[in-house]
Chain A
Amino acid sequence: MFGARRVLRKSRLVPALFVLTSGCASIPPSVSDLPDAAQTVELEATPFYPQERYQCGPAALTTVLVASGAAVTLDDIVKKVYLPGRQGSLQFELLAAARTEGRLPYPVDGTLSTIWQELEAGRPVLVLQNLGVSAIPRWHYAVVVGIDTENDEVVLRSGTDERRVTPTRAFLHTWRRGGYWGLVALKPGELPAAVDRARYFEAVAALEEAGRAEAATAAWGAALSQWPGDTVALFGLANANLALRNFAAAEDAYRTLLDRDSSLLAARNNLALALAEQGEFDAALQEISVALSENRDAAVDKELRDTEATIRRRKAIAD
């Protein structure tokens, strides 16, 4: 893997920190406005896990996972995400735990309208709130299960309250201090209600990095139904097939991509690996040499040479 991604993620934290330190700004209409036709919605069947003081992270995550049909218990999740020393859980640990339960955690875009749309689609939304002030934060994870449009209220599973009703304004202020962070747990193959291509693709790529190839297959399939023929989604599906050892299917998909655009060196690199896995070492080395002759990027060059060395080793063992 190339290293740029980690840096990218880090740089995305900066705006979130800015939000946290920016004092008592007001809530912009883009965050608080709901569609004109929005009706009251509440997912009453959402399970409830009253939590001990510091375990709101595991409880909130278990709530959205079980609501999405995952067979998981609060104890399982506590073991995965709760850090006694820190008396809390980190956002990325919640994301990682959701993936290990076979769900696709999709960060929502930080608007009330998106929460409403997800609720309408039957999915409760896990949110990070800061119940303190910016200077003395008191972080809290809760799950939005309803929006009452008549009384302007938000309904949450929160702490030991099965049904905490909060005025929308007050909720939005605590959510703003939490960086408007929230997620839904998608079943692989489900698309979020308000889907953003880049955000969805990044979520699925993270699923792939976590080694959940079967879930990634379904998620890329859904992406292709939304964006037919999308290059990144096709590449992702091929990579998932490669990880699942469906080498012929992976090979076909890489070839389709290369027929369309022969400069996709990542596809050529992976095609070579798919060929090598099928024992076609000479064809594999041929693809790598084409890629090496076309490449002008030093980082990619190293990857390609590593691949070449791997294939040569495998070939030597097979001979």
Chain B
Amino acid sequence: MFSFKARGALMRLISVSIICMGFAQVAPAGVIGTAYMLDEESRVASLSRIEVLLAREDVGKQLEAFGVDRATVVERLNGLSSAELLELEGQIESQVAGGDILAVIGIVFVVLLILELVGVTDIFKSI
């Protein structure tokens, strides 16, 4: 059984030898990497693109027709991880290669897709 100090010394020795090998540098434990900030950035961009879509009048009318409050959808969107948001965007984009998505696949479909993916349609099922 190592004492706490001996173990600390061993760990230091190991980390020093890793650094001296000239390979990977070891950052202190707990560092939040730059990739996190990049994810955040793409998340904010995805959110704003989807919110622009939701802010359209025709989309708003369709939401109303489904009896869904726009604020609820926005709230759900904010709860999605960046990966889920990207997935949502990807799903919408994969339906159309260019052009105005609403014109191509129809408002009803886009609205249903968003509702399904943010989980609002579960409300419909439970009624």
Flag B16-60 by CB within 8 Å of A: 1 or 0 each: 000000011111111111111111111000000000000000000
Given the interface contacts A11-B83, A211-B23, A214-B25, does A232 sit within 8 Å of B30 by beta carbon? Answer: no
**Taking CB as reference atom, which chain A residue is nearest B90?**
A11
Return chain A residues, CB-CB under 8 Å to B36. 1-2, 266
B120 contacts A by Cβ under 8 Å: no
Q: Which of A171-208 contact B (CB under 8 A)?
A: 198, 201-202, 204-206, 208
Closest chain B CB from A176 CB (angstroms): 15
Q: Verify if B122 is at the interface (C-beta below 8 Å from A).
A: no
Distance of B82 from chain A, by nearest CB (Å)? 5
Q: When each residue 296-310 of chain A gets 1 if its CB lies under 8 Å from chain B and 0 otherwise, what string results?
A: 000000010011001
Within 8 A of A (CB), among B66-90: 81-83, 86-87, 90
What 1/0 flags go to A261-289 for Cβ under 8 Å of B?
Answer: 00010100110010011000000000000
Q: Identify which of A43-51, A111-119, A236-244 touches chain B.
A: A236-244
Residue contact A266 to B32, C-beta cutoff 8 Å: yes
**Chain B residues closer than 8 Å to A236, beta-carbon distance:** 34
Tell me which residues across on chain A come within 8 A of B28, comparing CB atoms. Answer: 242, 273, 276-277, 310
**A264 to B33 CA separation, bound complex (whole angstroms):** 13
Whether, in the assembled complex, A317 has its beta carbon less than 8 Å from a beta carbon of chain B, the answer is: yes
Please measure, in the bound complex, the distance between the C-alpha atom of A277 and the C-alpha atom of B100, giving whole angstroms: 53
Bound-state Cα–Cα, A244 to B27, Å: 7
Known contacts A202-B38, A243-B25; is-contact A273 B83 (Cβ 8 Å)? no
Partner of A244, one of B4, B25, B35, B94: B25
Query: Does B8 belong to the interface (CB within 8 Å)?
Result: yes
Bound together, the chains give a CA A210 to CA B35 distance in angstroms of: 12
B35 and A5 contact, CB distance less than 8 A: yes
Which residue on chain A has the smallest CB distance to residue B93?
A15
Instruction: List residues of chain B with CB within 8 A of the CB of A100.
Output: 23
Q: Which residue of A lies closest to B89 (CB)?
A: A11
A235 to B86, CA, bound (A): 23
For B23, list chain A residues within 8 Å (CB): 100, 211
User: Chain A contacts of B25 at CB under 8 A?
Assistant: 211-214, 243-245
Q: At the interface, yes or no: A136 with Cβ under 8 Å from chain B? A: no
B83 touches A7 (CB 8 A): yes
What's the minimum C-beta distance from B44 to chain A, rounded to whole angstroms?
12
Q: Which of the residues A8, A205, A214 comes within 8 Å of B83, measured between beta carbons?
A: A8
| Residues in chain B within 8 A of chain A (CB atoms) | 4, 8, 23-42, 81-83, 86-87, 90, 94
